[in-house]
Amino acid sequence: MGLGQIVAQSQGHFNPPGVAPAREYSLSKHFVHPFRKVQPKPIPVDDTMSPTTRAVIEADHPPVLTLDTINRHVRDAQYAVRGELAIRAEKYRERLAAGEKLPFDEITLCNIGNPQQLGQKPITFFRQVSALVDCPSLLAVADSQGPDGEALRLLFPADVIARAQKLAKAVGSTGSYSHSQGVPCVRQNVARFISERDGGVPANPDDIFLTSGASDGVRMLLNCIISGPEVGVLIPIPQYPLYSAALTLMHGRPVPYGLNETAGWSMSVADLTASVRAARENGTDVRALVVINPGNPTGQCLSEENIREIIEFARNERLIIMADEVYQTNVYYPEDRPFHSFKKVLRSMGPSFDNVELVSFHSTSKGVLGECGRRGGYFELCGFSPAVRDQLYKLASISLCPSVHGQIMVDLMVNPPKEGDTSFPLYQEETSAIFNSLKQRAEQLTSVFVELEGVTCERADGAMYTFPRIRLPAKAIAAAEEAGQAPDLFYCLALLDSTGIERFARFTGLLRDFHQKFMEQYRDE
């Protein structure tokens, strides 16, 4: 694009709330070279622009960093979770907050699993311990016989105080950088948790990295795996967009494979093989396979047989397995669809599979905790070479350490109150209430979807999502094209505009009414 040419760059997908789409100089790189003079044409100043923004636009030089000069992998990355729909929802929220009258009086964001934002209560024991560890002035009086000690013991159960003292001793100050790989004793507890979960399969704390949420760990692994633009990674469709976004940012190639909707979103080795062979024939060096189990956003739990097939496939095709297992405790039909960890299945397959490279990701953000804001998580390496582990340790060190609060929540997640502890009854009551509510909503949502005209929906075995298929009438698709929108976005924006997607109790009714009106409006004669 030429000198001084002004083009409208719609940034709607990624505008922060309240910021109008930007009009932006588009100058090819050499025009921002220091030794050239540039006299771009003026641009109309927009009232929503901040003083500094206005300064740029009124100034007589374009900025050094523009959509032309920015890293194109950043520019090209898409992240729909915070896309147009979420932006519009946030704007509605602000308008409601400002007292404006809308067809609804509340907005519920369903763009990401963020349970506590939707009113899910945190688990008391976890928060009590976390607060105590964070506050030395409280811990200091834990054993005092004076009124402050009595006050503390009135507010905190004995097992909370004991756990907080133990953690404070192990962690030191929550204000210190920890070991880059995570506090050693927390990694030991994670290893014990994994080993117990997997029926005694050993786990080594040296192979565990605490991370800032699971996504941080995913990025660390992809950063090592993507050694050049020819390297590809198999990702499921439908997927959680972190994977496509991270691959674009790192200049790697997403190699999509389809999930088998009519077979409960299972994975077909035939399809996987076809995808990897086709990609390799096109010169893609396919190095890894991403599996999300339980599925996000598809909600399936893979069967043990299916997992065994997938591991064999990965071994035969020489692929690293990246197992996203953050929903491992959101499993609603354990009797016929239990969760099987990839590690347990892998280690049950005998020594000839010992060299399969598996990394498993977990998080404090899901489960019944829903502690997203602390950015707690970990990954476990199985079968990776020590030299590669050292490289991951170096990467972790460059970020210094994950949030110590996140690490503490990981410790609590893998080591909750036990039968007999003072806090156990409340813990059990809170966790089962959350679990049952999640399961009930998954069931209700599916049952509502399957009743709707043109909609099919698989049962969610786990996770926090259902993934209905909605067959839109030709007229709706035409209207979407008219509006320059993808048909699914068109439907969702209409749903948001007319209902605000309100709290679950009213959600299903509103969805039913909206969908009926929408289909009537667009149904093919």
Pairing of strands 253-258, 231-237: parallel
> Least separation, in Å, of the C-beta of 329 and a copy of itself?
16
List Cα–Cα distances, 26 to 4, 48, 77, 310, in angstroms.
Answer: 7, 21, 19, 47
List Cα–Cα distances, 126 to 116, 344, 422, 466, in angstroms.
Answer: 14, 28, 13, 29
Using CA atoms of 518, 522, 523, 525 in order, give the dihedral in degrees to the nearest 10: 150
Cβ proximity to a copy of itself: between 316 and 516 the closer is 316
The sheet with strand 376-382 has its strands ordered as 208-212, 376-382, 358-363, 320-324, 285-292, 231-237, 253-258
Cβ proximity to a copy of itself: between 402 and 473 the closer is 402
Which two structure tokens, joined as six digits, stand for 82? 């915070």
Q: Interacting stretch for a copy of itself, rule CB under 8 A, among 27-35, 301-309, 465-473, 498-506?
A: 27-35
233, 225 contact by CB (below 8 A): yes
Cβ proximity to a copy of itself: between 137 and 262 the closer is 137
Q: Interacting stretch for a copy of itself, rule CB under 8 A, among 144-152, 263-271, 414-422, 453-461?
A: 144-152
Which residues in the 163-222 window bind a copy of itself by CB under 8 A? 172-181, 202, 204, 206-207, 212-213, 215-216
Cβ proximity to a copy of itself: between 313 and 518 the closer is 313
> Least separation, in Å, of the C-beta of 101 and a copy of itself?
23
Of 165, 223, 422, 508, the one binding a copy of itself by CB under 8 A: 223
Q: Three-class SS of residue 417?
A: coil
> Least separation, in Å, of the C-beta of 415 and a copy of itself?
18
301, 462 contact by CB (below 8 A): yes
Cβ proximity to a copy of itself: between 207 and 324 the closer is 207
Binding mask 37-76 toward a copy of itself (x if CB under 8 A, else -) reads ------------xxxxx-xxxxxxxxxxxxx-xxxx-xx-
> Least separation, in Å, of the C-beta of 332 and a copy of itself?
22
314, 356 contact by CB (below 8 A): yes
User: How large is the C-alpha radius of gyration of the chain?
Assistant: 26
Which two structure tokens, joined as six digits, stand for 211? 């991370």
Confirm or reject binding of residue 16 to a copy of itself (CB under 8 A).
yes
Cβ proximity to a copy of itself: between 235 and 301 the closer is 235
210, 406 contact by CB (below 8 A): yes
Q: Give the residue carrying structure tokens 């059990």.
A: 428
> Least separation, in Å, of the C-beta of 177 and a copy of itself?
5
Confirm or reject binding of residue 82 to a copy of itself (CB under 8 A).
yes
Which residues in the 85-104 window bind a copy of itself by CB under 8 A? none
Q: Give the residue carrying structure tokens 């080594």.
A: 204
Q: Interacting stretch for a copy of itself, rule CB under 8 A, among 296-304, 379-387, 461-469, 485-493?
A: 379-387
> Least separation, in Å, of the C-beta of 436 and a copy of itself?
19
Nearest of 120, 203, 167, 179 to residue 410 by alpha carbon = 167
Give the interface size with a copy of itself as a residue count (CB under 8 A): 143
Of 95, 102, 144, 150, the one binding a copy of itself by CB under 8 A: 150
The Cα–Cα gap between 217 and 205 comes to 16
Which residues in the 450-509 window bind a copy of itself by CB under 8 A? none
Q: Interacting stretch for a copy of itself, rule CB under 8 A, among 108-116, 263-271, 329-337, 481-489?
A: 108-116
Which residues in the 317-346 window bind a copy of itself by CB under 8 A? 317-320
Of 6, 84, 96, 112, the one binding a copy of itself by CB under 8 A: 112
Which residues in the 401-440 window bind a copy of itself by CB under 8 A? 401-406
Confirm or reject binding of residue 391 to a copy of itself (CB under 8 A).
yes
Q: Interacting stretch for a copy of itself, rule CB under 8 A, among 16-24, 259-267, 332-340, 412-420?
A: 16-24
Stated as kind and residue range, the H or E segment containing 258 is strand 253-258
- Max CA-CA distance within the chain? 81
Cβ proximity to a copy of itself: between 35 and 335 the closer is 35
- Phi, psi (5° rounding) for residue 110? -110, 20
Cβ proximity to a copy of itself: between 60 and 524 the closer is 60
Residue 251 exposed, middle or buried by CB count within 10 Å (0-12, 13-18, 19+): middle
